[in-house]
Amino acid sequence: MMGGIGGIRVFDGGEVAAGTLRDMADRLRHRGPDGSGSWVGPDVGLTHTRLAILDSEHPRQPMHSADGRWVLVLDGEVLNHASLRGHLDYPFRTGGDTEVVVAGLALEGISFVERMQGQFAFVAHDLRTGTTHLVRDRLGIMPLHYRHVPGGMAFASEVKALLTSGPAPRVDHRSLDAYLATRAVPAPDTLFEGVKKVRPAHRVSVMPGGHVEETQWWTPPECDADGAWTPADAIEAVGDGVREAVRSALVADVSVGAHLPGDLGSSLVVAQMRQLRGDDAVHTFSVGLGEHADDELSPARRVSGLLGTRHHEVQVHPDELGDLWARLTWHRDAPISDLVDVAAFGLARTAREHVGVVLTGLGGDALFGGHARYRYARLAERSHVLPAPMRSRLAPTVERRLGAAFSTAERARLLGASAPAERRTAPTLGSDPVDRMLRHDLGHDLPDHLLERADRMSKAASLEVRPALLDHRLVELALRLPTSVKLRAGSTQWVLREVARGLLPDDVIDPRRQAPRPHLGAWLRAGLSDTVRERLSGRGSWVGQTLNPSMVDHLVERHERGDGSADVDVRLWTLLALEEWHDCFFGTPPSLPHPRRDAQVVPVPAPHT
């Protein structure tokens, strides 16, 4: 069941304050506006806000197992709950996925998570052993955070709910290097000192007395050897995998639509939806930004017309940026990383008027080698072994081609020091440079950036987003496929393009040109121009006081002179977003339209038979 989850674990005989759970639920109301509930037991309290997607007639969480041993709060969807139910000898009283998880825990223990498919994060407390398990899905689609507080630990879907208990938050300066590189912080860290993310495919177990253990419960498969797959076999397997992934993602008790920007992954998802849904109307949504909105929207219009969907277009204009900046920063729990954050919120806000769930093609690029930067994977690895003088000249260019806002050398100048050794990402293992880059993106860029954005911006509008291509069975298949069937004959996503033939026209599968990206500098000048210098160089600027002021001033001056280079725009956005995040969480938070409804505190029920 979608929603927001949170709770407190106390040690040494402390008590959980029901008021703290109510405050947590209030901070998570946008994730679950359809109801809420809380429970206080020995040394632990749990809370849940509900977004009704499955089994809307039986919404109550926290939910207790029939034997009285387990208490559960679940955020997300267990898409194979119907098949799991048929194999569990349990006195079910509801038709939803939450009780299937409770039943699995009662019968098989915490290892039951290995049988679950879908996107989920949950907290399960074992009353017999006194252990609280924080569990996150394989790809990190659903979020879960935790924080040590005096006398215990707090945990919640979003950081803002954690900040209702414990001391005032502080900035984690050791995470700034990672943020300035990629505009995201890799798990388990965040920009908040002491606030951690549960890593994808991990569980964090909190024992009586406060001992914490972290366990990885799923491991991605290794790549098969070259020659193990013929191109024809790979096309057939991926085609079947995409079809089953979309079929699973359609499970819901509310209307399901799709995000259709017109790219290959989303178009393929919509094509499969049309085949699986037959004559049922499919609502699709696309969003355009600013002056290039019409060019951005035209590929989606073409695909919608070919597939016969009921299409909706959303346009977001630069003058809206100033009003949305603080609001979206609060929802993101982090600096908004791109104009795509703004677009994602605009689309979710409109989609929620028509459907309860939106499928996306997010993740297809990372699975099948769709990003242009994968073509630089070999160059990036070779650059590390070049002589030092040549490496120092080449490195900044390579880093920017790979998406870095500031190069390693620039970050060291901005921060006055290199990245702390313990915060440097360990090299990713793989069969070749492209495979290693794909796996790195699946482990870091996808959950810590793209999926985090999709979750926060959709939940800001109380909408569920499902990245259909991230069904873990399709992910495992994609990881087994060698690079030769992903990047082939000069084409990225080769195997996915071949799967799409017969479902989509060639000009959608192999577009001759990409839709122009909105000009970031124009948006900054239209939406924030009057405040750029004050935000970054003024007396009260946190960025101006924390980072190298001469470098910051130089960027501001280039912006004011009208320097339209993409590098300047991206760097300026990175710093402005960081300043807004600091002001939002360490200054005065924005006033947001969240009606407060008190959570219900319910006692532990007697086990049913």
The pTM of this model reads 0.92
Quick: pLDDT tens for 429-479. 899 999 999 999 999 999 999 999 999 999 999 999 999 999 999 999 999
Superfamily covering domain 2-219? Aminohydrolase, N-terminal nucleophile (Ntn) domain (3.60.20.10)
pLDDT at 601: 38
Provide the pLDDT for residue 7. Answer: 97
Question: Which DSSP letter does residue 424 get?
Answer: S
Q: Which tokens sit at 19?
A: 């008021």
CATH number of 231-371+435-509: 3.40.50.620
Domain residue ranges in the chain: 2-219, 231-371+435-509, 373-423, 520-586
- Note the helical H segments in 215-281: 231-249, 264-277
On whether the CB atoms of residues 326 and 581 are closer than 8 A, the answer is no
Q: How far is CA 202 from CA 75, 110, 364, 461, 514, in A?
A: 16, 12, 23, 28, 37
Backbone phi and psi for residue 146, each to the nearest 5 degrees, phi listed first: -150, 160
Which residues of the chain fall short of a pLDDT of 70?
A: 1, 53-59, 292, 382-394, 513-518, 527, 564, 588-609
- Residue pair 53/253 in contact by the 8 Å Cβ criterion: yes
For residue 57, the tally of other CB atoms under 10 A from its CB is 9
Let me know the angle formed at the C-alpha of 27 by 62 and 250, rounded to the nearest 5 degrees: 60
Say which residue the tokens 């690079």 belong to.
Answer: 483
H or E stretch at 146: strand 145-149
- What integer pLDDT is reported at residue 498 of this predicted model? 96
Q: What is the DSSP letter of 419?
A: P
pLDDT confidence of residue 390: 57
Provide the strand spans (E) within 334-475: 357-360, 464-467
Position 254 scores a pLDDT of 87
**251 and 117 in contact (C-beta within 8 Å)?**
no
Decide if 496 contacts 503 (C-beta within 8 A): no
Residue 25 pLDDT = 95
Give the C-alpha separation, 519 to 89, whole Å.
58
User: Which contacts of 431-434 are long-range, i.e. CB under 8 A and separated by 24 or more positions?
Assistant: 431/222, 431/223, 431/482, 431/483, 432/483, 433/377, 433/378, 433/380, 433/381, 434/369, 434/374, 434/377, 434/378, 434/483, 434/486, 434/487
